[in-house]
Structure 1
Amino acid sequence: MTAGERFTVALIGASGLLGRAVAAELANADRAKEWRVVRTAHSRADAQSVKLDLLDHDAVRAFLRGLAPDAIVVAAAERRPDVCENDPALARALNVDALSVIAGEARALGAWVLSISTDYVFDGTSPPYYPDDAPAPLNAYGRSKLEGERALLECDPSSCVLRLPLLYGPFTGWNESAVTSLAPAIVASADAANPPASMDAWATRYPTFTPDVAVVIRGMLEHRAKGAAISGIAQWSGDEPMTKFDIARRIAQVLRVNAKLVAQLTPADATPRPRDCHLDSGRLEVLGIGRRTPFDAAISTLLAHYPEGPAQ
């Protein structure tokens, strides 16, 4: 970059749960004087974003060549484990093949890529997990994300993968996160005419607030803008362990409903999921990157915006 040039970021998948939080964080007025952020979206593209289908490789190449960004944040993916299990070809197309195209173009352009991955690359038997621990995914989602990690880093070792656990944050629909998706069942269980809601109490999760992840990503981009890009594998995670049963009880408290909840002590998902994939965040912490909002404070803020109650 030369004097007077703005640092250009392509934010791929800006309309999703995480992408919106990152877009909001990067829209800081002071930073906008030095940074240019170009958002892309597909099904939910709007006037503030470029419509881009990641399955259209020619369109992806044309977009990146026309923009010539300094950095590319890839927040778009097929992240639903059940969908990946039932349609592994789609999972590979979005989580591996599209990322390979982005990686190839980025390398040719000299752009730094930050791609979002998952704790599901591990089998959940020996937490905490460090970036260099051997992956062992249990399901198609985890396998596709691991393949995507390898495709990116093999194409350009200077790029970076950011592994994240269960995310929740400002949402447009309850089902955008496995955290907020619990709310309708929680509320329904409080009705005397309805049976109790069964909630998983087997797997330990670490809910992570998307605005906090956005702060992490901003910090990583700032390193890149200063010429000190973070490469390889990085990880970020909330630090409060809880099962879905625990999450449900805390949501019920916030919503002030007398929920009837039953703890499900054995795995109930059709798609195999790991039991405890706690990610160590030390690599970013030593760089002074990160923020963690307490779960109760974050979920209270989110649910306070929806006083009408969960949409069905």
Structure 2
Amino acid sequence: MPRTTEHTDRPAPTPADREVVAGRLLAGSVKRSYNPVVDLDWDAPLVEGRYFLPPAVLSLYGTPMWESMTQTQRIELSRQEAANILSVGAWFENILLQALLRNLMHQDPTSLHTRYVLTEMGDECRHMTMFGRAVAAMGAKPFQLRWHQAVVVNLLPKTFRGTMLWVAALIGEEIFDATQRRVMDDPELQPMMSRLMRIHVTEEARHIKFAREGVRRRVAGSRRIETWWVGTIQGVGGPLLQRLFTNPAMYARAGLDPKEARRQALSNPYFREMQRRGFGDLAAFLEETGLMRSPSRAMWRRAGFL
């Protein structure tokens, strides 16, 4: 089959371009990286009356259930939703680290590309530490995978290869990143969460740049069948994220009826708008690179992201 090209006039990235991008990102990492162990004040007390996620991004915001809740109940819901999202973040970082490490086995260990991958892996390890400490600091418990979910998650790193590796990285990074950028300066947010988001956004910007360049390189140099396959299957991320964002366990921990809470969340226009805004930039990028085919588009739309 003939090789594919991007749907834009952008020149196809070359191996030399890959090294240039990696070198630039390495320089950025030297100038602006964080160590959450010392860059977050873990001993600072929580601020009474502040949320762990701003009300407007909570899954039940604006629903009848939300209107019936007290301020204390709403803050508790924000604690549990934040703990859930941080747990999901840790799961994803773990999957990505495993996939990147497998990929490095076949790369030139002297290249700037490899050096940046290792730098990114260090960032992600620190992020996992930061997420875990934040869950503990907010007085919550992490959410765990069920056994059948754990089976699937343990298989995923083996399937993330080529274009799919970089697209999966973007699905796990960009949607969270877009939401964090909008809310990290919210005055109702706990200072610890605001600082955590700022650190994460700063470092994820480099990771997203790296993954996008990886996608462009693969699309320009891969056969049409790979682009068709990734463009068809990547929409599975939509229902998966929808399920994770409306985890019944977090509603139960917040003292709510989990089935009714999830039902109201899934029909909540505010929640759907939040999902669409988070996915907007990534959706446009996937369209641009020819990686948003009809089956995936339908799955993202059905899950409320389009």
Query: Does TM-score exceed 0.5, indicating one fold?
Result: no
Task: State TM-score, norm by structure 2.
Answer: 0.31
- Compare the two structures and name the one with the higher helix fraction: 2
Instruction: Give 1 or 2: higher strand fraction.
Output: 1
TM-score normalised over the length of structure 1: 0.30
